[in-house]
Amino acid sequence: MPAILNAYAGVAGQDVINQLRQLAERLQGVRVVHVNSTYMGGGVAEILGKMVPLMQEMGIDTTWEVITGDESFFQCTKSFHNALQGNKIEIPDALLQTYEDTNQGMAKSLGPLLAEADMVFVHDPQPAPLLSLCPQRKGYWVWRCHIDLSHPYRPVWKYLREFVEPYDASIFSLSDFAQTLPHPEYLIPPSIDPLSDKNIDLDETEVDGIFERFGLDASRPLMLQVSRFDRFKDPLGVIYAFRLAKKYVPDLQLDLAGGVATDDPEGELVRSEAEAFSEDDPDIHILQLPSDAHRTINALQRAADVVLQKSIREGFGLTVTEAMWKGKPVVGGDTGGIRLQVINNHTGFLVSTPEGAALRVRYLLERPHKLQEMGQKAREFVRENFLITRQLREYLTLMVALIHGCRDRIELG
Ligand code: UDP
């Protein structure tokens, strides 16, 4: 049995590992390519960084390619992201042309690899046109959408749908995001790697070190949100909620931690908006972290008393999963993938306004027993539903079904 995979038995159980091995037997030597738009920053890169080596370890010949582009390309794809999550945005033709030209250029360099692959997973809109630019393809192509597509701005979705329709299948994180498409749609929620630096258990000294390092007071309650600086993550709403909660919990401190993703051109602007809104309040700490600060984020999530993810749209919200795995109930925006994870009053609270968030933060901080009990439920909920072993099983099952042509029955062993 592959050594890396074996290490997950302790967390996920031996049965799960045996099942993965059985599935992988049907996929030995199969060539798989994942394509997305960044190696660093955001949930997709986070997952692929763990999923790709695991698939390789299991004998599946897997590679990860990244589509590169200039500033206007990422400006265009960020506009897609914003429009698909509901903002009414007209994208100028010149930017759409850059988008198509960039994909054309990438298709030239990646073409031979993609054409020969047995399975290609294309993540999100950035590389979506690659399929139409790869007419000699041999394998199955799946469009994997990580975005909250529950209320897309229709003209932009209509434009992108042209590129998505020819795929053999799509994967969405939850049923609310599924669209009318002429191919099978699968629902596979994302997951976290419990053995990664981001999620592995840390000793107390490492966790406590966070307070001094970032000028936080270990004796006072800490509220945390970890996110890219993106308006859909509502950093200003978090600051507002903090101010409201602080009226009742005067010692409260807030930490907004986020870095930049190389495919997100709006991060700097949104971070400066948050800084301006915080008005130099010494109890609001806005941290800009490097993209490899996984252990730091891990320690912050453990050090926090209560974790927020007050998004107004959210594809899934790995930061929610990460905090729950550390035994923290999450006060999360009542939207998208957060609803899959935060079971109201059990693993956290779903909120729609800063007022609601402040109320729940106060409720939890004033009831340490409840906070602990909900935190334990949160961790178990993640163990059962959102570990990488579950997501790997679903990806492998889908691959076996597509490659072996048995969509309604999968035979193993
Ligand atoms: N993340 C990080 N550094 C940051 C901000 C976020 O490493 O400064 C990580 C975070 O821990 C999580 C991922 O990036 O693993 C964000 O995924 P999520 O699904 O929450 O949001 P996305 O950024 O994909 O919208």
pTM summary value? 0.95
- 318 pocket-lining for ligand 1 (C-beta < 6 Å): yes
DSSP 290-350: -TT-HHHHHHHHHH-SEEEE--SS-S--HHHHHHHHTT--EEEESSTTHHHH--BTTTEEE
- 50 pocket-lining for ligand 1 (C-beta < 6 Å): no
pLDDT-based confidence at residue 265 (cuts at 50, 70, 90): confident
- Residue 257 carries which DSSP code? E
Q: How do residues 94-108 score in pLDDT, each as one tens digit? A: 999 999 999 999 999
Q: How far is CA 13 from CA 317, 334, 387, in A?
A: 25, 32, 11
Instruction: Work out the average pLDDT over 231-242.
Output: 98
In the chain the domains, ranked by start, together with CATH numbers, are 3-191+387-403 (3.40.50.2000), 204-385 (3.40.50.2000)
- 337 pocket-lining for ligand 1 (C-beta < 6 Å): no
Within 8 A by CB and 6+ apart from 64, the residues are: 33, 34, 35, 36, 39, 48, 52
List the residue whose alpha carbon is closest to atom 14 of ligand 1.
Answer: 42
- 316 pocket-lining for ligand 1 (C-beta < 6 Å): yes
In the chain, what's the furthest Cα-to-Cα distance?
64
Q: How do residues 49-65 score in pLDDT, each as one tens digit? A: 999 999 999 999 999 99
pLDDT-based confidence at residue 40 (cuts at 50, 70, 90): confident
- 338 pocket-lining for ligand 1 (C-beta < 6 Å): no
Ligand 1 center to 356 CA (angstroms): 24
Ligand 1 center to 131 CA (angstroms): 28
Within 8 A by CB and 6+ apart from 126, the residues are: 36, 37, 67, 69, 77, 80, 263
Within 8 A by CB and 6+ apart from 164, the residues are: 128, 143, 170, 181
State which ligand 1 atom lies nearest to the alpha carbon of 289: 8
Q: How do residues 108-124 score in pLDDT, each as one tens digit? A: 999 999 999 999 999 99
How far is residue 129's CA from residue 108's CA, in Å, rounded to a whole number? Answer: 12
Q: How do residues 324-338 score in pLDDT, each as one tens digit? A: 999 999 999 999 999
Within 8 A by CB and 6+ apart from 114, the residues are: 33, 35, 107, 120, 130, 134, 137
